[in-house]
Structure 1
Amino acid sequence: MHTDPGHTGIGWRQPHYAELLERRPALAFIEVHSENFFAEGGAALAVLHEGRAAYPVSLHGVGLSLGSAAGLDSGHLERLAQLVERIDPVRVSDHASFARAPLAPGQAPVHGNDLLPVAFTPSALNIMAANVQQVQDRLRRPILVENLSAYLRWSDDALSEAEFFTALARRTGCGLLLDVNNLVVNALNAGLPPVATTQAFIDAIDPATVGEIHLAGYADLGDIVIDDHGSRVHAPVWQAYAHAVRRFGPLPTLIEWDTDVPALDVLLDEASRAQQVIGRHAVADTTP
């Protein structure tokens, strides 16, 4: 086990709460799902405070619905703001998706348990920019917005995904949480070369906007590839990640594993491999 925490972290899930606090392995940060800690008190929040005492914490959300034309859920945003004030995380992030919409005209919006893709259009950009700005104004800090794994595309896309994120960052000052696995999954499902397609996206993004990278495993079911975060990182993702490191430098990198969660040592081994990629491919800082 390396003693230098480097730049890599792991998603801290319930099966590893106690073991991580007991062993205190060298990690640059740990990441949790924000919504799991929205309660005012209780055991979960107490454990998170212990984790925060041991490591920098990154809060990664799934429920802001930043692309919703119905606007944000003010209660959800307020609970997130309270958690941010309690934990003082190193980063706050959520997805470029929507999950909140009225079931019928005139009805109050309801929240669906899914991350649905937005259209890459000027109007969708306007909506997401306004929602992102509202979040940042309440939190009093910039957030990171993650690119999505999506199993459908809107027919009226007018911008490329990279153009959409570039414009969003320029207009709001937010950053990009670059999920390399999501890009590879989308390329595979579109029948495109996964590494070359992901590298093209990476090359189209301003390095100054990327604040964190996610790596995860996917499930190849033959006719579709599912972003299930349930296995070790696959070879195309490692290849694309090496390209990202060469372009962006040694950014904070997370190993995500949410289903069939393995032993802690498996996650630490994946984090160590990511750190090795950084060591081999990151361009040395030549700033005087």
Structure 2
Amino acid sequence: MTATDRHPAAPTGTCETGIGWRHPHYAALLEQRPALDFIEVHSENFFGAGGAARAMLRIGREHYPVSLHGVGLSLGSAHGLDTEHLDLLAALVQDIEPVRVSDHACFALGSTSRFDRVHASDLLPIPFTREALDAMCANVQQTQDRLRRPIAVENLSAYVQWRGAEMDEPEFLGELARRTGCQLLIDVNNIYVNALNAAHPDLVTVCAQWLDRIEPRTVAELHLAGHVDCGDIVIDDHGSRVADPVWALFRHAQMRFGAVPTLIEWDTDVPALDVLLDEARCARAHAEDALQAMAHKPAIA
């Protein structure tokens, strides 16, 4: 079976776009088979070797390339990785043969004693220190060795910050990629949300400067999502359409990094499938406009 036979719905073009494939759209996606370049699922939802979930993912894989996006590896944990979790991920990777595997630059595992580990069930920010970088490099390398492939590591939407930082986030991620050979998954909305919560006066410029410090060859995927302003804090809730300033930053990112595969994330208040597909079409249009304009105008006016 050729790649074309396996994925007949994948459109041609310069910018690959995909959507997060969530439970409300399992049946609709397979019935409609919309023109998408890939679909993304959360790895942990499919760890069971049998059952309906894995069977559904195998069917989806017959029609679209799959990107596995994890939320539980805890790559920044100073206590090391959960080897059982890593083994389950490795088995899923072997079964599904995803186009990309990713997780977050965060920690979730902690310890209350020599023998007890606790999982925070959240994506907690790491301190940008040399010690934290060493720990994450070791965990990323262990993951890549186990999976026998590079992974992509995503920048976090963080609502607290550690004191005593020895570098900033772009430098930390750049060093991580340099030392481990991993790739980066750049979430454009996360950058904007963090800038909003830090009350930067010139948000788009600050975020564009963040993007400009990332080495283009390290970027494997971009994420786009909506956020919500709760008054005293802005939350990356993946529950609405992409905001206009985030689209502007996305165009800048495409001009900076080239044609990078892009995902629309929508995880709360999940709308009809057509809404996600419309956002994916918008992403493709913005990217192609940016790529065409790359040689003729600056990324940020």
TM-score by length of 1: 0.96
What residue in structure 1 maps to residue 6 of structure 2?
A: none
Answering whether residue 189 of structure 2 is matched by residue 181 of structure 1, we say yes
For 1:181 and 1:92, how far apart are their aligned partners in 2?
A: 20
> In the alignment, does 2:268 pair up with 1:243?
no
The residue identity in structure 1 corresponding to 2:181 is G
1:63 is paired with a residue of what secondary structure? coil
Divergent runs of 4+, >3 A: 2-6, 283-286
Report deviation, 1:76: 0.1
Answering whether residue 161 of structure 2 is matched by residue 130 of structure 1, we say: no
SS of residue in 1 equivalent to 2:140: helix
**Who is 1:275 aligned against?**
284
Identity over the aligned pairs, expressed in percent? 63
Map Cα deviations across residues 138-163 of structure 1 (whole Å, 9 max, x no partner): 00000000000000110111101000
What SS class does the counterpart of residue 251 from structure 1 fall into?
Answer: coil
The unaligned stretches of length 5 or more in structure 1 are: none
Question: Aligned to 2:251, what secondary structure does the other structure show?
Answer: helix
Alignment check: 8 A CA contact 1:68 1:97 kept: yes
1:212 pairs with 2:221: yes
Give how far 1:4 is off: 4.0
Which residues in structure 2 correspond to 1:77-96 (within 5 Å)? Answer: 77-96=86-105
Please list every run of 5 or more consecutive structure 2 residues that lacks an aligned counterpart in the other structure.
1-9, 296-301
- Whether 1:224 and 2:233 are equivalent positions in the alignment is yes
Which residue, out of 139, 143, 148, partners 2:147?
139
- 3-state SS, counterpart of residue 277 of structure 2: helix
> Displacement of 1:220 after TM fit?
0.8
Cα deviations across residues 229-284 of structure 1 (Å, max 9, x unaligned)?
00000111101101001111111000000000000000000000000011101159
Instruction: Call closer, same or farther: CA 1:284–1:28 in 2, change over 3 Å.
Output: farther
The answer as to whether partners of 1:94 and 1:144 remain within 8 angstroms in 2 is yes
Whole-Å separation in 1 of the counterparts to 2:215 and 2:11: 32
Q: Report if aligned partners of 1:185, 1:194 keep a CA contact under 8 Å in 2.
A: no
Q: Is the 8 A contact 2:11 2:37 kept in 1?
A: no
Distance 1:284 1:81, change over 3 A: farther
Equivalence for 1:58? 67
How far apart, CA to CA, are the structure 2 residues paired with 1:97 and 1:109?
16
Cα contact 1:4–1:26 (8 A) shared by 2: no
- The residue number in structure 2 matching 1:24 is 33
Q: State whether structure 2 residue 49 is matched by structure 1 residue 40.
A: yes
Which secondary structure does the structure 2 equivalent of 1:66 belong to? coil
Q: RMSD value over aligned CA atoms?
A: 1.7
Could you say if the C-alpha distance between residues 81 and 284 of structure 1 is closer, same or farther in structure 2, counting changes exceeding 3 Å?
A: farther
SS at match of 2:139: helix
Q: Measure the CA separation in 2 of the matches of 1:216 and 1:285.
A: 24
Structure 2 CA distance for aligned equivalents of residues 228 and 18 of structure 1? 24
- Deviation, 1:3, is 5.2
Q: CA offset at residue 194 of structure 1?
A: 2.4
1:97-129 deviation per Cα after TM superposition (whole angstroms, max 9, x unaligned): 0000102x4232211110000000000000000
Secondary structure at 1:17's aligned position in 2? helix
Q: Does 1:148 align with 2:167?
A: no
Secondary structure at the counterpart of residue 26 of structure 2: helix
Alignment partner, residue 263 of structure 1:
272
Equivalents in 1 of 2:157, 2:101: separation in Å?
19
Pick from 145, 151, 166 the counterpart of residue 158 of structure 1.
166
For 2:111 and 2:11, the matched residues in 1 are separated by 51
